[in-house]
């Protein structure tokens, strides 16, 4: 069983890792993931008893509370943290004046201690609460060994050796860093809250001439709604009457209006900027493009990239090792230097402070989260950070032709052989799942008795006791029927009866207007080779793709042959595949990373993909590639930069070159630089 539990007051990524570990240890809980950024816990469990235990554990973890409903977005002013820091600073200043003047030592000591407690009471409280939790359900020392303990030990140690000012500075600076970190994380949460605003809360449902305002989630397929000027489209629907201009920026990230009229499909989340229109709901609001965006972005945190998994495991081992090393530094060197503990204890405390892994624990998942949110702004839904990591390495891009590079809106352009050829084809094609079948309108003149779809070829049916074949040249050849290639740029469907070719039908399909620019931009973004996989003939594919910067056309492929060609393409580097149909799912499974067309794409293709183009616009692909490369670059910068700076500071601290306040400033500074670097993902992707 699966359930998502909404929470609040989960304070840090390290706490989230601890909560996940403790929940996973509960009997009957198969997996648990506590998401610090989205403030939710995702549980997989086998029984209601296990779920009840998990809920109890969540609600008793530090200050975490379970909330029933997602609260409306409101700005977090961090009043409690600011007051603590201000109180600590207010006590610190007079204490510093007294110490510098050499007056009233015990008064200054008391003020420094009070400043430490005022600023860091939450840190000390967390350490105190971790002690009983360490023995809950066994012995878990990692629960205690977190950054709260490191800061508490550093502050207490400073007071113990008479460095009262240093002890207070350690706690005040640490709390300032925590505040700034929370503000940065809150900014990313705000981005998801703004995505949630894409969903319309209500809709105007029409019943004859009457109008009723209803919650959007109550809309069902077939309902008729009125969308006025300024209204946000409440669900994916099709215009029945009227014409208007649609602002699609919320889904595509592109500032332009789309002119739509009767028969055109509207995606939920877009804004009507023209006249009022009547529209028929195609899918419930829960299955709309916007719902997919929110669901995928919110759940993307659970699918971690390799660097993110490494940092989580690293932090669990790293902190206990650091504490042990600090103890060794404080104890063993003085044994050979005349028991001079007063020199080595401060160095050990500096070592503890500097080595705090906050910069990595926060910045790496925050960068991936920001990357996923950035893609969502452009209508690209990422199913997890894993896909971002792979997409950054892609060298080869492969595309399905029909419905991906072309619009996939078919119409009959020409009929050779008479009206009865079209009637036969329409009667048979109504049983087909292929997108081409949409081009035919069945008149009911022909009664089909049985029908069979032949993958990659066409349809075989029986009508009036005679076998009817409708499909491509390969199907005709399979039954020994002579069919000549045509020079037309349109798709050709042959029709035969009782092994006699009756005629052919040409089906028109146009290239997407943004296809050429998209493929060119992909090459500018670092894609070295572009290929197209199609079941069409080579001559027709070359004609249809003329003018596109395509390096390789793999034509006349059956569905089972496409994965084999995809495997060949992977020899040149990581492969990205973009498709829209059920027949694309094997290729998506074979490719390193896959994109599905969200609006027109099949459910199977969307399920098999790593990314979904919610608005069906190819122009989002280059932005996705650039965003993925930028995400990975920032993650590596944070990892390498944080480790390098900390290594240098640790070396200086061992030789006694920096005081404790400089150590905490260096640690907080590294964390803030890493977090601010992560926030670069919020910038516009060109």
Catalytic residue among 231, 389, 400, 509: 400
- C-alpha 166/C-alpha 174 separation (Å) is 12
Q: Is 222 exposed, middle or buried (0-12, 13-18, 19+ CB in 10 A)?
A: exposed
Sign of CA dihedral 384, 385, 390, 393: positive
- C-alpha 136/C-alpha 158 separation (Å) is 31
Which stretches within 235-305 are classed as H helix?
A: 249-252, 289-299
CA distances from 538 to 544, 553, 554, 685 (A): 10, 8, 8, 36
DSSP-assigned letter for residue 491:
E
400 part of the active site: yes
Per the CB < 8 A criterion, the answer to whether 58 and 19 are in contact is yes
Per the CB < 8 A criterion, the answer to whether 440 and 425 are in contact is yes
CA atoms within 13 A on the CB side of 45: 24
Q: How many CB atoms lie within 10 A of CB 576?
A: 29
- Label residues 584-614 b or e (16+ Cβ within 10 Å = b): bbbbbebbbbbbbbbbbbbeebbebbbbbbb
Token digits of residue 85: 């820091």
- C-alpha 665/C-alpha 452 separation (Å) is 73
CA distances from 473 to 413, 447, 469, 478, 582 (A): 18, 25, 11, 9, 22
Per the CB < 8 A criterion, the answer to whether 267 and 233 are in contact is yes
Q: What angle do CA 566, 572, 576 make, to 5 degrees?
A: 50
**Which residues does the annotation mark as catalytic?**
400
């Amino acid at each position: 069983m699966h359930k998502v539990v909404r929470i609040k007051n989960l304070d840090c990524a390290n706490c989230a890792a601890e909560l996940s570990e403790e929940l996973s240890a509960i009997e009957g809980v198969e997996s648990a993931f506590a998401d610090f950024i989205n403030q939710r816990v995702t549980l997989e469990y086998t029984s209601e008893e296990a779920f009840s235990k998990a809920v109890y554990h969540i609600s008793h973890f530090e200050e975490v509370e379970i909330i029933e409903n997602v609260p409306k977005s409101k700005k977090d002013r961090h009043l409690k943290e600011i007051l603590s820091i201000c109180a600590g600073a207010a006590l610190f200043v007079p204490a510093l004046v007294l110490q510098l003047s050499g007056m009233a030592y015990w008064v200054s000591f008391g003020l420094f201690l009070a400043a430490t407690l005022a600023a860091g009471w939450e840190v000390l409280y967390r350490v105190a609460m971790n002690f009983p939790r360490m023995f809950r359900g066994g012995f878990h020392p990692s629960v205690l060994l977190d950054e709260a303990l490191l800061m508490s030990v550093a502050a207490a140690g400073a007071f113990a050796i008479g460095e009262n000012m240093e002890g207070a500075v350690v706690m005040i600076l640490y709390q300032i860093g925590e505040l700034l970190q929370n503000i940065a994380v809150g900014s990313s949460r705000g981005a998801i809250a703004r995505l949630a605003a894409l969903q319309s809360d209500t809709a105007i449902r029409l019943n004859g001439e009457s109008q009723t305002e209803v919650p959007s989630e109550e809309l069902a397929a077939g309902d008729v709604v009125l969308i006025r000027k300024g209204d946000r489209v409440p669900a994916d629907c099709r215009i029945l009457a009227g014409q208007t201009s649609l602002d699609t920026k919320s889904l595509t990230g592109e500032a332009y209006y789309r002119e739509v009229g009767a028969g055109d499909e509207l995606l939920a989340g877009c804004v009507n900027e023209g006249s009022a229109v009547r529209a028929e709901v195609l899918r419930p609001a829960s299955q709309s493009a916007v719902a997919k965006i929110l669901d995928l972005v919110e759940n993307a945190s659970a699918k971690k990239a390799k660097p993110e998994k490494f940092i989580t495991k690293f932090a669990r081992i790293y902190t206990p090792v650091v504490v042990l090393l600090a103890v060794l530094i404080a104890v063993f060197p003085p044994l050979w230097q005349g028991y001079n503990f007063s020199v080595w204890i401060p160095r050990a405390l500096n070592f503890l402070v500097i080595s705090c892994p906050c910069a990595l624990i926060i910045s790496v998942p925050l960068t991936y989260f920001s990357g996923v949110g950035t893609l969502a702004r452009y209508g690209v839904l990422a199913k997890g950070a894993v896909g971002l990591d792979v997409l950054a390495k892609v060298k080869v891009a492969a595309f399905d032709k029909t419905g991906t590079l072309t619009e996939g809106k078919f119409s009959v352009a020409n009929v050779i052989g008479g009206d009865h050829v079209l009637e036969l084809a329409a009667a048979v094609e109504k049983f087909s799942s292929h997108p081409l079948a949409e081009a035919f309108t069945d008149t009911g003149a022909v009664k089909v008795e049985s029908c069979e779809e032949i993958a990659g070829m066409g349809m075989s049916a029986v009508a009036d006791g005679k076998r009817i074949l409708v499909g491509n040249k390969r199907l005709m050849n399979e039954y020994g029927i002579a069919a000549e290639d045509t020079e037309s740029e349109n798709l050709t469907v042959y029709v035969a009866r009782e092994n006699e070719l009756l005629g052919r039908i040409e089906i028109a399909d146009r290239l997407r207007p943004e296809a050429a620019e998209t493929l060119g931009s992909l090459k500018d973004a670092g894609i070295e080779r572009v290929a197209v996989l199609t079941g069409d003939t080579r001559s027709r594919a070359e004609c249809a793709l003329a003018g596109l910067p395509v390096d390789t056309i793999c034509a006349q492929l059956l569905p089972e042959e496409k994965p084999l060609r995809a495997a060949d393409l992977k020899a040149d580097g990581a492969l990205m595949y973009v498709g829209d149909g059920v027949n694309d799912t094997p290729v998506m499974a074979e490719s390193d990373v896959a994109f599905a067309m969200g609006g027109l794409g099949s459910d199977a293709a969307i399920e098999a993909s790593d990314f979904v183009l919610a608005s069906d616009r190819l122009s989002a692909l280059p932005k996705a590639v650039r965003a993925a490369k930028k995400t990975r670059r920032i993650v590596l910068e944070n990892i390498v930069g944080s480790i390098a700076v900390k290594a240098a500071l640790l070396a200086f601290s061992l030789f006694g070159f920096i005081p404790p306040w400089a150590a905490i400033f260096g640690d907080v500074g590294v964390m803030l630089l890493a977090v601010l670097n992560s926030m670069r993902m919020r910038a516009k992707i060109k």
